[in-house]
Structure 1
Amino acid sequence: MRAGLRSPRPTLRLRLTLFNGVLLVGALSAFVLLSWLLVTDALRPAEHLAPGTVVVLTDGRELDAATWQDQIADQASRELLAKALVALVAISAVGVLGAYAVVGRALRPLQQVTSTARRLGEQTLDQRIRYAGAGDEVAELAATFDDMLDRLSAAFEAQKRFVANASHELRTPLAVMRTEVDVTMADDTADVAEYRRMATVVRDASERANGLVDALLVLASSEAQSGRRLVRKVPADLSDGVCAALSAMQVETRRLKLDVRTALDPAVVVGDPSLLERLAGNLIENAVRYNHLHGRLWARTGSHGPHVYLLVGNTGFEVDQADVPGLFEPFRRGGRERTGARGSGLGLSIVRAVAAAHGGTVSAVAQPGGGLEVTVTLPAADDAPGMAGAPGDAAGPRAVRAG
């Protein structure tokens, strides 16, 4: 036999039918044997007669009772076996055919699953089995397969949107750079100042493209580790990440004259420090970037039972609570158009991916009058200090007021 070729095997329908046939034939054979034993035992009345008893037949012949008994028993046994074998063959044939039909009907959804799976492709993910039979295991399998197709379809659609948005975001700075270079090079009267202006625009666009690529890499890395073991697992304090992010955004917070208030209790988790620092940094950057002049920014960290939390809130433009879940999707900026919007629209997507990679959750609440408050909850480290408190408590924090 050539490698890669397997000998044909009987289908599940045929195997179930054969199994049912073997059981049926075995049960009927046992019944026939039992009947034969009972009949042969019942046809022995001469055993109760005296020795030498003679039986007179209708044709006038006289036979010994024991001999006559043996003849009757042999004849009854042969007739019983002949008729029983005919009945056995007939009932077995009907049983096997019936089992083949019933098993085929029961396995029809499996055939639908197979045919649907063979037809599936990127353009045919809308097909479903939609089995409407009895609520048995086959129906459960068909429903599970349909649910899996729903998840695959949603994942493919999300991937398409992600690729389209990513290509758009990358194409914009590249188009800006090429336009600036072409316009400046085509201007014969361009001087050094014009070339400096072009270089500044190209540098800014390249920084935007580089930042987007970095964000995409972080998002991909975080999502790849979601549900699996992290590459790095060391103790890290979320409050340190908040302090570092506020320090990095100091110039911008001063420019906007933001009122920054923090209440930072220890919030130690075990995970990847770089990803956790990026999580805190993205929340602080978003809180500053989407704020307004003389706005407010608040951040709190702490622990509550077996979990630690990081809460970051800000004032800003109004957000409908119904739109909040969409803010965690890539390239979503709270209803703002992509073109000209601040940031890449990946900040909260990265936050959600990093939280999921560390076994945590993230939620957001729209603030009355504008702004957003985001809370990240992560499993606490075993040796995390300060297990008292809850989101909103400010007892014993490292309180800082800036602005």
Structure 2
Amino acid sequence: MRNPRRLALPGRTVRLRFTALYGVLFLLSGVGLLAVTNLVALGSSRSTVPAENAQLRQPTLAAAQEQIGLLQTRLSEIHAVQSRQLLVGSAVALAVMAVVSVVLGRVVAGRVLRPLRTITTATRRISADNLHERLAVPGPADEVKDLADTIDGLLERLESSFAAQRRFVANASHELRTPLATMRASLDVAVAKPEPVPAQTIALADRIRTELDQVDRLLEGFLMLARTQHGALSDRATISLGRVVSAALDARAADITAGSLTVHDGDVHDGAWTRGSRTLLSRMVDNVIDNAVVHNHDGGWIRVATTSDGGTARLVVETGGHVLDQEQLSRLAQPFQRLGADRTGSGSGSGLGLSIVAAVATAHGGDLDLRARPEGGLRVAVSLPLADARAGVSA
């Protein structure tokens, strides 16, 4: 069981601890200074003799004794008044010193921690898309400089690792296309021989060709995912999500008709504009539409809408079907995650479609939201930064 006392103290930061430490040190210094001042003042007040003593010339014994008693009384009263004034002044000075100590402690702690805050801010700004940036903290060779240089070295190693990963994925995907093309050509040659080919051979060739097409799509998905996650955004333009969605629906008209699907696209309009890579954004929309068409049932429906709200352009695609588990849906944005054939009766797909959608959205400063509809089916919402339609070339 976790300690509730520790949970109740989330504000115990390093700056707060430094503030308390410096404040206590300043306060103790003030207390010591006031104590020394009080001791010196009290000692000097005791050694002070009123001037009236010097005016006594040849007094009688009784008069002298009476005068001495009066002087002692006055001296005691003056000493008591001075003590009270000194105590009040010391209390006020101590209160002022307490406030000043806290303020000075906080200022000093802030200046001490300023380089660390700078390092923290710069480190948060660096992500997988800009690993080439470095902290490059100036200053003398002290502990803060050593920490910054250590983080820069770590970023350099991470950049090299990411670059090696990109090269491996790209090279492997490219090299695998050659044997796939060779296998496909060998199948075509074997089936195209003049002598009669057994029906079993033709059926086997068709099945192998289907699997080769699936592997080819998988390699294409690898390349697209690697380019989206770690590549630079090329062919940037200002694009209308509505026009891209309309083009994607027109390209899949045959599949929509074959599945007897009803498409509700009345809310698709040209008001939702965003800026980014035309190729990647088109692929993102294609994957969302493909997901709605492939993972659907005969006679089902698809509702598509593009909206703009504040500074956000949004694409929303909904489908009907079985009631889905929201916890499982949250994993679909990861590569090779699928709900299985019990989702809509279709188990096809490489498991990269929605992960590519999520990667493209993130690369453009947006996000992907997957929601299970309470009455059954899936709601896919892609949010992207809104752009001005006059800012660039439309799509």
TM tier relative to shorter chain: 0.3 to 0.5
Higher normalized helix content (fraction of residues): 2
**TM-score, normalization by structure 1:** 0.46
